[in-house]
């Protein structure tokens, strides 16, 4: 069953975040993931949520998301993201 990783990013250090952005797509692909949304304009239709930079990934399943997130190759890039931005991440199973 496909699973989706949904991320809202509030960038604090744009230069460092650009380095992160360039490095991560190969690791996403390594775990069978692909980008569905990567930035772009956001229009809030209802509610109070005000995402700043929204990213949506599709993975084959929840296990693939966990494998991506815990991959030792991703660890230094994850640390860079955590230093250069504030992030909210959720994983959800699809249909």
**37 Cβ contact partners less than 8 Å away, ≥ 6 residues apart:** 54, 55, 56
34-38 β-sheet, strand order? 34-38, 53-59, 3-11, 85-93
The domains of the chain, with CATH numbers, are: 3-93 (3.30.70.100)
Average pLDDT over residues 13-37: 97
> In which band, very low, low, confident or very high, does the pLDDT at 9 lie, cut at 50, 70 and 90?
very high
Confidence (pLDDT) at 74: 98
pTM over 0.75: yes
Confidence (pLDDT) at 67: 98
Give the pair of three-digit tokens for residue 6.
Answer: 């949904």
**Total residues found in the chain within this entry:** 95
């Amino acid at each position: 069953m496909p699973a989706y990783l949904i991320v809202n990013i509030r960038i604090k250090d744009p230069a460092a975040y650009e380095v992160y952005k360039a490095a991560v797509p190969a690791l996403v692909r390594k775990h069978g993931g692909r980008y569905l949304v990567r930035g772009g304009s956001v229009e809030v239709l209802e509610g109070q949520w005000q995402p700043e930079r929204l990213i949506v990934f599709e993975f084959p399943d929840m296990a693939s998301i966990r494998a991506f997130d815990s991959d030792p190759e991703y660890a230094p890039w994850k640390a860079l993201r955590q230093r250069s931005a504030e992030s909210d991440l959720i994983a959800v199973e699809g249909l």
